Each structure stands twice: as C-alpha cells, then as structure tokens.
Structure 1
Amino acid sequence: MPILRKLEISNFRGIQALSWKPSPGINALIGPGDSCKSTILDAIDWCLGARRSLPVGESDFFLLDTTKAITIIATVGHLADELKSLSRYGEYLKGFNLADGTIHDEPGLGLDVVLQLALRIEQDLEPQWYVLPRSSSTDLPIESLPRLPWSHRQLLSPSRIGSNSSHNLSWRRDSALAKLSSEEVSASDVLADALRNASSLSDLTSRMR
C-alpha cells in the first residue's frame, strides 16, 4: 500500500507554505478550529485523489491572491510494481531516505523508491496534475511532464473514512479495509466456509452421542 513520505503545500487556502514529513505509522493532526487541519487533508485528497476535475474557486488561494499558484507536491513511497515501471516512470523515480527524510534524484541502496506527484492551479483555475521531474529537469514545461493514467491514480487514491464510513468500514470494493488487506475478501466464500465448518461440527457431535 502506498505511503505518503512528504507533503509540500504552497498558497492553498490558509496555508502559505508547509513542508511535512509524516512519521511512520499513525499520524494525528491536532489543533484548534480553523488551524488548517482539514486543509492539509484536502491537499492530500486533491493531489492524489482519483479525480478528473476540482471545484476550484478564488477562495482556495492564500489571501485570495490568484497571482500566486497553488502548488501541492506529494512524495509517495512503498509503491506498487506498476508505479515503479522503468519504461513509464524510469526518469522520474527517486529515492527517499527514511532516516533523515531527504529526497535523492535517483533510487539507491537503502532508499525507498518514490514518485513525486504534483498539482498546480493558476489564475485560470484549471488544475494540472503531473509527475515531478528530477532536479536536473525542473525547467521542463508542465505540458511535457507525464500524467498518471486512471488505473495508476486509483492505486494512489486515499480514502477518507469520515466522509464515507459505511463504505470504508466494510469489505467492499475500493473500501479502506479492502485496500489495507493484501487478500481479496469474498463474503460468499466466508459464508460457505462457515457452513462447511458448522456441518462438520454437527456430524462430529452426532457420532460422539
């Protein structure tokens, strides 16, 4: 399952600039109301979510200043094999040092292989998603950078349990529980196994009488 290694936000709602490296395991955002906790979660969702459009408005820009682009960069590791494809992303794969949180231009021994996914929104309010190049290629125009195909966006798409708990707390297709499991769970298979076990137990009890 993909893991968010680093999140960088610029000019998004109440956040002028933020760089956050989540700790391993569960992380908690704690603070008073209007301290941008939900904004951070929205930034992750906007950048990595499997979506083709966004309801962007001027109020989504820091201090309503649309002359400064919204930029969200998510560094994601623990990638599925499809996202580590050399033929598709070979020039964009990087290395993340878990010990000090540094990002290297190329994968290496002891480094987590990562991709940096970026979302940029300018004055035209049109979101542009793309894979961030290595530092040696930062002068490339956004239009020339690769976009993730829909199937790969679904591999990275986060789940927000609070917004759809009935779906995400069940073993349904694309639910949070299903994503956390490495096995595909079939309700019919589980029920069939339970019936077979109950039948075997009943036969055993009858023979013992």
Structure 2
Amino acid sequence: MRHTPRYLMTDPDEVKRLIRANAWATFVSPATTGLVASHYPAILDEDAEGIVIVSHFGRPDEVAHELGRHEILVIVQGPHDYVSPSWYAPGEVIPTWNHVTAHLYGTPEFLSDDENYEMLAKLTDHFERHRPGGRSLADDEAGTRRVAKGTVGLRIRVDRFDARAKLSQNKAPDVAANVIAHLDERNPGLADEMRRVHPGGPTA
C-alpha cells in the first residue's frame, strides 16, 4: 500500500480489532503457476500470542495455493467508502476514498483433522451465537465431521503486517466532522472508525 505516515496503523491491537470485526479475508499466494487468490472467513486465535489467524480452504484450493511452501498475503478490509469533495469547502474538487485495511504476511501451518473441526466449530459459533435459533456443528457432529473432510484447516502466525486507516486525518476538524455526518447516513461503520481518530466530532 502507498506509504503515507499519517495513515499508518502500527498497533497490533488495532489490527486485531479490525480482524475481529471483519472476518471475510482475501488470501493471495505466489504459486509457481502465478498469483492465486481465494476468499475465506478468518478469525483470531485468541489464545495465541501476537496476531495469529485460523481459517480453512475448500479442497483442492490448498493445492492451487501451494500452502505451506511459501509466505502468503492475507488482506482484511474494514469499512470503506467514497468521500465526495462536495462535503468539503466550496471550490475543492478532488475526491478520495476512506478505508481501513490490513495486509498480513505469514506462512500457513496445516491443522490436524481434529484441530480443523474444532476451528470450524468455533467459526460457526462466531457467527451463530447471537442469532435467534443459532445452529452449532455439534447439533449433527457425525454429519458435520464428514463435511469437514472436504476442507483443510490452517493457522497463520502473522510475521509482519502493513495496515492503513485513511480517515481524513489530513482535513481540518470541521471538514472531518462534515464527512462523518454524511457517512452516518450511508456508512455508519466508517463514520464510527473516523470518530476514533477525530474525537469530538459529531455523534450519531
């Protein structure tokens, strides 16, 4: 990503917060056949030190990615949206795009079948626990274990990351407040991210 110091996210805890809130990730591998990309949910291993994510690939995606043979890139994208110059002072005409994004780098380790099933159960619970009538893999363990054999579980210890929170830090407080007010109507998640770096701005 473009190196702009004012937008850098260097706090691992902030990157963890981004991952927790945005589980849909893009996995990119430099395979011998060329670049390969896939999209899967990823969650944090909350018991591990540092930033460690766990996920799964549907077979035979792990072969196409040549997982375990090289470092891969995992992209986590948070709230993002177009910012119109009409939200700035009269005469300004250059638009931009605000976003929160993290690039995570590490070499995947394969999970055992039991570890994979445990991870899939946690992943399901992550999304089902707050839903009325939420389901669990334990509701049909024999059946879900058979389905799980079509997936490959993986753990990635993030060796390094490159993250940005581009949230109008280059704008005056009154301009940023106006951007937040507009985003409250169309993208409240991004507006909330902006409030984190512009305290004292308008509340929803």
Say yes or no: TM over 0.5: no
Higher relative contact order, chain-length normalized (CA < 8 Å, sep 6+) = 2
In terms of fraction of residues, the more strand-rich structure is 2
Indicate the structure (1 or 2) with the bigger Cα radius of gyration.
1
TM-score tier, shorter chain, comes to under 0.3
Give TM-score scaled by structure 1 length.
0.25
